[in-house]
Every structure is written in structure tokens, then in C-alpha cells.
Amino acid sequence: MKDKKITIVGLGYIGLPTAAVMARAGMEVLGYDLNRRVIDALNRGEIIIEEPGLSELVNEMVSSGRLKGISTLQESDVFIIAVPTPITEDKKADMSYVKSAAEDILPHLKPGNIVVLESTSPPGATEDIIVPILERSGLKIGDEVFVAHSPERVLPGRIIQELVENDRIIGGINPESTEIVKEVYRTFVDGEIYTTDSKTAEMCKLMENTFRDVNIALANELAILSENMGIDAWEVIKFANKHPRVNLHQPGPGVGGHCIAVDPWFVIENHPEGKLIRQARNINDGMPDKVMEKIQELVQSDEAKVAILGATYKPNVDDTRESPVLKLVEKLLQKTRLQVAIHDPHVDREVFPYSGRLYDQIEDAVKDADLIVLGVNHFEYSTLDFGLLGNLMKAKRLYDTRNYLNEKELVENGFQVTILGRGI
Ligand SMILES: NC(=O)c1ccc[n+]([C@@H]2O[C@H](COP(=O)([O-])OP(=O)(O)OC[C@H]3O[C@@H](n4cnc5c(N)ncnc54)[C@H](O)[C@@H]3O)[C@@H](O)[C@H]2O)c1
């Protein structure tokens, strides 16, 4: 396998690290992307995304001659597709990037080729979208060209290690495809490689994120019930999780990011019978509304100032895709007359949709505020001086949607503290 020429189609957070790791394993790797900036940077040995260790590895592999960027596809032994699969307005997978990647491969296809879809896709996509396009080559797909889905489950920030160490699933359109694609991944994966059919592999990836979404929805429902019943959901979670087979998740202001908030929709896009999954999505998507209602209840004035700390979809990252805090901001601006100030040390002002409301200094964001809302538990917020911040505010009120801050210290500094999910 190591003498095979590999082409990665789509050099983003998944494709580029995969290309670099395969080159490190000794293969000749070509990276193809529609974005010229990505290719130009790659051929200078540089990258345009942030991921620990990637810049050094790419530089080393480009210098070694084993990794090269190309802006026109050419013949190859293996094609790995890692293009985006975003969600449409009507909650369906946008497969247009995958289709166009397969169509671009088509003129270069030859007998013996291997095509792998890594993009997260609805069940059936490899057989129903990739195979019919490749069949237009006249080659017998499954006999002369081998096709499989191999989903990715790396954690941003640890992609290079996890690409090698994580267990992996390979699902071919037939057993021959599965076995040959397994050999490709064996060249650089140290984890176990489990084999199945392509539709099962697609469903596995989606269910991993759906599992998390449904469990977060259960925690959010517990939070809503607890508030109504006069119970502290956080105490329930702490003690229920002492059961050896229980792992209640944590509630919060909603679910964001490009995986957990998106992938469950791919499962049910053509399947209304997926009721629990849909309900979980709706519960999680309803959380920004719940937070808005609580804010309105707490501030006691239509024109109060609310300072929101944190805008990303999870702590300690700069990614705001599908962030529930941004949905909250949008709702506050559309449905209320409240003044909204935002602070987040991680977001990039250039691409932030509410940059006019974004303050670089937290003191400026909370000045004259009637309420602080902790939206994201960024590490930086664990060491804030609430004595100082409280003195800048009009009213010392704080709503912690993550149960993250030191309540005792806040109370000692005169704050009235409300915690999402605590009904007492
Ligand atoms: N990022 C993650 O943590 C992660 C984890 C698991 C799975 N995934 C899945 O992997 C896939 C890729 O995600 P990503 O985060 O790497 O995306 P990305 O947006 O970072 O990168 C995709 C790249 O593909 C390029 N591209 C788009 N259409 C193309 C085409 N037709 N031909 C060539 N290049 C094309 C884009 O220019 C871009 O550089 C998605 O399906 C995603 O859901 C991502």
C-alpha cells in the first residue's frame, strides 16, 4: 500500500491533517482544494487553519517532497473525499460539495482505483450519491473501482494524535472494497479498524453525535423540570451519576458546533419516524428561548443592559458556528429592547457577526449593566475579579448558564446569583 499515490480532495480541518499524516507514514500524497489560498499556502509549506502541530508537520512533509498541493486533479491510486457537508435552511444535508468532488474525480478514474468518502453524510450517501456518479466512467464499481465510507471522529485540538490513535470504522459498498480500504488506513492508523457496510458506517458516525445530542437534551429537560419543581438539577446530576451505570450529561444554553447540532438532522431528514431524535433537537434548539425568558424575568426593565460573557459554541475555542449564545443574542435583539454587550477573548472580531457589540475589555462590557450572563465557560472567566466588576454595574446580578463560576465568592461580593437548572 505504501507505494500508492493518494489524493485528498478538500484540505480543511480533516483533509489536510489526513494528508500530512499519510505523507508521514511514507506515502506520496497530493492535496487538492478549490480554494487557491489553501494550495498556495500548502506549497510554501504553510497552513491557513489553526491546529496544534499541523503547521510543523505540513512544513516537514512538503519539504520532504511527499506532500504537494495541486489545483487540478490528476490520476491517482486512491481518492479520499473530505469536503464540507453543511446543513441547509430546511435541515437537510447539503451534499453539493460531495457531488462536485465525485464529479471532479470521474475523468481521472481508472481500474484499480479506490475512492473513500470521509465527509459526514446521511445513511446511504456512498451508495446513492458517490456510486452513480462514478458509474458514469463505464468502470464496474465494486469490481474495478473500490468504494467505501470511513467517518472521522477526531477532536479539534488533538487531530494529529487522534487520526492515528482512534479506532476507525470502514464501510465498503461490498466486502472487497471494505478490505482494500482497510489496508489503506492500516498504513497510518494504530487504533482498531472495524469493518462493516457503507450505510452502517454512515449511521455510526451520525449516531455518535446523536447520542450526545439526545443526552444533552435530557439534561436540559431535567434543568427545565428542576426549575419548575424547586429542585437543583446539578445536585441531581451529581448524585445520580454515582450510580455505576448512569452518566447524565450537563444542561446549558443550547447545543452548537458543526457536528452535534447538525448530524442528528441527517439521520431523520427523510424519516419522520425518528421522533426522539427530532424532539431532542427541538429541546436543545429551544434553550436560547428559555435563557431569554429568564433574562427578561431577572432584569425587571425593558431597556436594561445585559452583558454576555462568551459567544463561542464551546469553551476555549474560537469557533462560533451554530453557537447557541449567538442565537440568544439574535433573539434578544429581535424580540426585546434590552441593550446587549458581548465579551469573548477568543472570537475573531473580523468575522464576528455582532462586532459592534463586542468589547475587548470585560470592564467596558459590564459597565452599567443590570445583569451579567455567563454564556460560555471559558477558562479565563474562572479568575475574574467580581469585586471590581460588580462595582462597575448598575445592579449586581449574574445568571450562570453553565454552573461554572464560584457562587460563594459572587455572593460575598454582593451578587444576586441565578443558575440555569437550579429551582431553589
Ligand atoms: N472538523 C471536524 O472536527 C470534523 C470532525 C468529524 C467529521 N467532520 C466532517 O468532515 C468533513 C470535512 O470537514 P472539515 O471540517 O474538514 O471542513 P472544512 O470546511 O474545514 O474544509 C473543507 C475543504 O474542502 C474544500 N472544498 C469544498 N468543495 C470542494 C471540492 N468540490 N473539491 C475540492 N475541495 C473542496 C474547501 O475549500 C475546504 O478547504 C465534513 O463532512 C465534516 O462534517 C469534520
Task: For residue 156, report the distance from its CA to the centre of ligand 1, in Å.
Answer: 13
Residue 206 lies in a domain: no
Annotated active-site residue 204? The verdict is no
Task: For residue 11, report the distance from its CA to the centre of ligand 1, in Å.
Answer: 7
Q: In this structure, how many other beta carbons lie within 10 angstroms of the beta carbon of residue 197?
A: 20
Read off the pLDDT of residues 315-347 as tens digits, 9 standing for 90 and up.
Answer: 988 889 999 999 999 999 999 999 999 999 999
What pLDDT shows up at residue 3? 87
Measure the CA–CA gap between 187 and 327, rounded to whole angstroms. Answer: 43
* Residue 15 alpha carbon, nearest atom of ligand 1: 16
The residue-averaged pLDDT of 37-55 equals 94
Q: Do residues 192 and 236 both lie within one domain?
A: no
What pLDDT shows up at residue 2? 79
Read off the pLDDT of residues 244-278 as tens digits, 9 standing for 90 and up.
Answer: 999 999 999 999 998 999 999 999 999 999 999 99
Q: What is the extent of the structural domain holding 12? A: 5-196
Which percentage of the chain shows pLDDT scores above 70? Answer: 100
Q: Do residues 275 and 174 both lie within one domain?
A: no
Nearest CA to ligand 1 atom 35: 10
Q: Do residues 173 and 244 both lie within one domain?
A: no
Annotated active-site residue 238? The verdict is no
Residue 367 lies in a domain: yes
Q: Do residues 297 and 403 both lie within one domain?
A: yes
- Report the chain's mean pLDDT, rounded to a whole number: 97
Q: Do residues 173 and 303 both lie within one domain?
A: no
Task: For residue 17, report the distance from its CA to the centre of ligand 1, in Å.
Answer: 11
What pLDDT shows up at residue 15? 98
Residue 216 lies in a domain: no
- Top-confidence residue, 149 or 2: 149
Read off the pLDDT of residues 270-311 as tens digits, 9 standing for 90 and up.
Answer: 999 999 999 999 999 999 999 999 999 999 899 999 999 999
Task: For residue 205, report the distance from its CA to the centre of ligand 1, in Å.
Answer: 15
Cα→Cα distances 133→138, 157, 198, Å: 10, 35, 16
Residue 48 lies in a domain: yes
Q: Do residues 180 and 241 both lie within one domain?
A: no
Active-site pick, 91, 99, 242, 259: 259
Nearest CA to ligand 1 atom 41: 119
Q: Is the dihedral of CA 221, 227, 229, 230 positive or negative?
A: positive
| Substitution site in 33, 168, 206 for ligand 1 pocket (most atoms within 8 Å of beta carbon) | 33
What pLDDT shows up at residue 370? 98
- Ligand 1 contacts (CB < 6 A) are 9-15, 32-35, 38, 82-85, 97, 100-101, 104, 118-120, 152, 154, 156, 259
What pLDDT shows up at residue 352? 93
Residue 401 lies in a domain: yes
Does 50 score more than 90 pLDDT? Answer: no
Read off the pLDDT of residues 122-172 as tens digits, 9 standing for 90 and up.
Answer: 999 999 999 999 999 999 999 999 999 999 999 988 999 999 999 999 999
350 within 8 A of 337, measured Cβ to Cβ: no
Active-site pick, 205, 294, 327, 396: 205
Query: What band does 61 get if pLDDT is binned at 50, 70 and 90?
Result: very high
From 196, 215, 246, the end of a domain falls on 196
From 173, 196, 219, the end of a domain falls on 196
Residue 217 lies in a domain: no
Task: For residue 15, report the distance from its CA to the centre of ligand 1, in Å.
Answer: 7
Q: Do residues 284 and 406 both lie within one domain?
A: yes
Q: Do residues 44 and 136 both lie within one domain?
A: yes
Does 386 score more than 90 pLDDT? Answer: yes
Q: Do residues 149 and 244 both lie within one domain?
A: no
Of the candidates 418, 402, 424, 404, the residue with the CA atom closest to the CA atom of residue 216: 402
- Locus of grid cell 473530505: 82
Task: For residue 213, report the distance from its CA to the centre of ligand 1, in Å.
Answer: 22
The residue-averaged pLDDT of 361-384 equals 97
Supply the DSSP string of 127-179, one letter for each residue: IIIIHHHHHTTSS-BTTTBEEEE----PPTTSHHHHHHHS-EEEEESSHHHHH
* Residue 148 β-bridge partners: 116, 172
Residue 207 lies in a domain: no
* AA identity, residue 292: M
The total domain count for the chain is 2
* Residue 159 alpha carbon, nearest atom of ligand 1: 3
* Residue 416 β-bridge partners: 397
Q: Do residues 307 and 249 both lie within one domain?
A: yes
| Substitution site in 8, 13, 116 for ligand 1 pocket (most atoms within 8 Å of beta carbon) | 13
Residue 412 lies in a domain: yes
Does 351 score more than 90 pLDDT? Answer: no
Read off the pLDDT of residues 196-244 as tens digits, 9 standing for 90 and up.
Answer: 999 999 999 999 999 999 999 999 999 999 999 999 999 999 999 999 9
Task: For residue 104, report the distance from its CA to the centre of ligand 1, in Å.
Answer: 16
Helix, strand or coil, per DSSP, at residue 30: strand
Q: Residue 408 is part of a domain; what is its CATH number?
A: 3.40.50.720
Q: Do residues 316 and 369 both lie within one domain?
A: yes
* Residue 85 alpha carbon, nearest atom of ligand 1: 41
Q: Do residues 297 and 384 both lie within one domain?
A: yes
What pLDDT shows up at residue 111? 98
Does 1 score more than 90 pLDDT? Answer: no
From 171, 196, 221, the end of a domain falls on 196
What pLDDT shows up at residue 281? 98
| Substitution site in 7, 9, 11, 14 for ligand 1 pocket (most atoms within 8 Å of beta carbon) | 14
325 within 8 A of 359, measured Cβ to Cβ: no
The residue-averaged pLDDT of 399-418 equals 98
Which stretches within 269-367 are classed as H helix?
275-299, 324-335, 362-366
What pLDDT shows up at residue 131? 98
